[in-house]
């Protein structure tokens, strides 16, 4: 019907947002993804921040095969052995404090829905505090508590959502204060406003340990501790959305470990499946017993699917065997040092931030004004792609132009060097081209 599959993709697919690449894609291995023209790209976004152990790791391929030999799917009331094993492994090796009971679903958005339903049922409340710049998913409840997504045009969001200004050391809402003072003052004000507006039905505070889509913002540790206290003071639960931060991405086991704060509910998704759709939500026995007694339900077609669990177990096993948590810290330190070195030479690199292998590089027209360099960001990203490096840029008028850089934790020093060289060349050429166009 159409000449090529690229034409077919334009004719028959719904466009779902985000930047679309000019070719179709065919295969992926380790840090490399390949398009239908046979071109290789270094994937410095780990797909959609998921492929932490590298694309198509043999252990994942084997896990899928194993599930094929045993079972992909059961009636949701039949708990597969492998699901029990995954829940036990999470509780034993990964979950903080007394968080120990998990449910397994498929996506991060779904995980947020689970967490919100748990918190609402446990507290008998419905009010949720979320951070500016947050992204917790695209489904109804999740998008209601997400501020970095496109909220317009989809009808009425869930009521009872309140926003805490996000800590942003580079673009603080409050001037003339330290990073920590500004973050805590914002929180204090937000809580005062919340207490004034609240109908007394607080359910939860939800937060990403690193506010990723909002520009890779790392809150001060005291801010997270203050969130813990704010939730406790109001009888609300604290939810950590660890879609991106769990299982080594930031150089610790979890965001909870980094901040030394134990939430009541933790959501995990992208980094659990290494590229396949599995998500988990975990909470304490106390909370789970309570909501179970109130008939908590999150019954879906693919809850507790054995295929996904087989893959999740394999991913966790590889992370431990290949010591990828430590490796993320080490390689993240190296990548960051390369960016910091570049920052010495490029006025346009305003800020380098992040943790482990989740890094943000913010582009500005100049250091004094800190004006977001949107055109430079877009052109450089395009040139990176032309030269074989896939990167993700977040462009928001109010929040700057920020590269979100997150290669697989298995990335090699050679791949990092290659990527940084491509990036530097692209940045230099883009800067010169834009300057020439301006002068002309």
- Give the CB-nearest residue to ligand PMP: 108
Q: Which of 336, 353, 404, 431 is catalytic?
A: 404
Instruction: Tell me which of 45, 144, 254, 269 binds ligand PMP, using CB under 6 A.
Output: 269
The answer to whether 273 and 244 are in contact (CB under 8 A) is no
We find the least distance from the C-beta atom of residue 258 to ligand PMP, in angstroms, to be: 15
57 is a contact residue toward ligand PMP (CB under 6 A): no
* Range 126-185, binding ligand PMP (CB under 6 A): 135-137
> How many angstroms separate the Cα of 70 from the Cα of each of 31, 64, 67, 74, 106?
30, 10, 5, 11, 20
Instruction: Tell me which of 45, 107, 381, 401 binds ligand PMP, using CB under 6 A.
Output: 107
The answer to whether 284 and 100 are in contact (CB under 8 A) is yes
109 is a contact residue toward ligand PMP (CB under 6 A): yes
We find the least distance from the C-beta atom of residue 223 to ligand PMP, in angstroms, to be: 17
Cα–Cα dist 100/283, whole Å:
6
* Range 189-218, binding ligand PMP (CB under 6 A): 208, 212-213
113 or 351: whose CB is closer to ligand PMP? 113
The answer to whether 166 and 132 are in contact (CB under 8 A) is yes
182 or 239: whose CB is closer to ligand PMP? 239
Instruction: Tell me which of 121, 236, 243, 352 binds ligand PMP, using CB under 6 A.
Output: 243
b/e sequence 295-328, b meaning 16+ C-beta within 10 Å: ebeeeeebbbbbbbbbbbbbbbebbeebebbebb
The answer to whether 357 and 333 are in contact (CB under 8 A) is no
Cα–Cα dist 417/232, whole Å:
46
Instruction: Tell me which of 108, 141, 202, 215 binds ligand PMP, using CB under 6 A.
Output: 108
Cα–Cα dist 129/206, whole Å:
6
DSSP alpha helix (H) spans, 322-403: 324-345, 374-386
* Residue 353 phi, psi dihedral angles, 5° rounding: -150, 180
We find the least distance from the C-beta atom of residue 241 to ligand PMP, in angstroms, to be: 5
213 or 357: whose CB is closer to ligand PMP? 213
Q: Which of 270, 329, 336, 353 is catalytic?
A: 270
* Range 393-422, binding ligand PMP (CB under 6 A): none
Cα–Cα dist 240/290, whole Å:
20
Radius of gyration of the chain (CA): 22
DSSP conformational letter for 212: T
Cα–Cα dist 440/436, whole Å:
6
338 is a contact residue toward ligand PMP (CB under 6 A): no
Q: Which of 113, 208, 242, 264 is catalytic?
A: 208
Choose one: 30-38, 237-245, 300-308, 324-332; the region binding ligand PMP (CB under 6 A).
237-245
383 or 399: whose CB is closer to ligand PMP? 399
244 is a contact residue toward ligand PMP (CB under 6 A): yes
We find the least distance from the C-beta atom of residue 138 to ligand PMP, in angstroms, to be: 6
135 or 194: whose CB is closer to ligand PMP? 135
**Which residues are registered as beta bridge partners of 115?**
none
146 or 401: whose CB is closer to ligand PMP? 146
Would you state the torsion angle of the CA atoms of residues 326, 332, 334, 340, taken in this order, to the nearest 10 degrees? -150
Q: Which two tokens stand for residue 181?
A: 């003072």
Pick the closest to residue 115 from 292, 240, 14, 256 (CA basis).
240
63 or 243: whose CB is closer to ligand PMP? 243
241 is a contact residue toward ligand PMP (CB under 6 A): yes
Q: Is 135 a catalytic residue?
A: yes
Q: What is the binding site for ligand PMP (CB under 6 A)?
A: 107-109, 112, 135-137, 208, 212-213, 241, 243-244, 269
Give the active site residues: 135, 208, 241, 244, 270, 404
């Amino acid at each position: 019907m159409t000449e090529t599959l690229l034409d077919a993709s334009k004719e028959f697919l719904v466009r779902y947002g985000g930047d679309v690449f000019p070719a179709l894609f065919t295969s992926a291995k380790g840090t490399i993804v390949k398009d239908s023209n046979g071109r290789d790209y270094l994937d410095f976004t780990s797909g959609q921040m998921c492929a932490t152990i590298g694309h198509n790791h043999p252990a994942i391929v084997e896990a899928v095969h194993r599930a094929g030999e045993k079972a992909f799917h059961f009636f949701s009331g039949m708990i597969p052995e492998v699901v029990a094993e995954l829940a036990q492994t999470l509780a034993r090796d990964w979950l903080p404090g007394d968080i120990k009971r998990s449910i397994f679903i498929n996506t991060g958005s779904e995980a947020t829905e689970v967490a919100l339903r748990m918190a609402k049922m446990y507290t008998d409340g419905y009010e949720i505090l979320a951070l500016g710049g947050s992204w917790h998913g695209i489904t109804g409840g999740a998008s209601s508590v997400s501020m970095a997504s496109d909220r317009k045009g989809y009808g009425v969001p869930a009521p009872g959502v309140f926003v805490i200004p996000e800590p942003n050391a580079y673009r603080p809402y409050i001037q003339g204060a330290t990073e920590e003072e500004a973050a805590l003052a914002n929180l204090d004000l937000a809580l005062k406003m919340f207490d004034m507006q609240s109908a007394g039905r607080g359910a939860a505070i939800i937060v990403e340990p690193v506010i990723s889509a909002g520009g890779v913002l790392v809150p001060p540790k005291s801010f997270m501790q203050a969130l813990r206290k704010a939730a406790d003071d109001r009888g609300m639960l604290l939810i950590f959305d660890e879609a991106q931060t769990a299982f080594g991405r930031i150089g610790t086991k979890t965001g909870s470990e980094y901040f030394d704060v134990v939430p009541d509910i933790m959501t995990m998704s992208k980094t659990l499946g290494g590229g396949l759709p599995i998500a988990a939500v975990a909470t304490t026995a106390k909370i789970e017993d309570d909501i179970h007694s109130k008939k908590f339900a999150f019954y879906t077609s693919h809850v507790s699917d054995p295929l996904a669990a087989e893959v999740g177990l394999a991913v966790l096993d590889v992370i431990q065997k290949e010591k990828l948590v430590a490796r993320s810290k080490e390689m993240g330190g190296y990548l960051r040092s390369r960016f910091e070195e570049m920052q010495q030479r490029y006025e346009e690199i305003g800020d380098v931030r992040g943790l482990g292998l989740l890094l943000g590089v913010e582009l500005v027209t100049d250091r004094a004004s800190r004006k977001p360099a949107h055109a430079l960001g877009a052109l450089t990203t395009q040139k990176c792609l032309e030269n074989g490096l896939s990167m993700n840029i977040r462009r928001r008028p109010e929040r700057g132009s920020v590269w979100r850089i997150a290669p697989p934790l298995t990335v090699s020093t050679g791949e990092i060097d290659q990527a940084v060289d491509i990036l530097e060349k692209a940045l230099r050429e883009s800067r010169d081209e834009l300057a020439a166009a301006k002068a002309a």
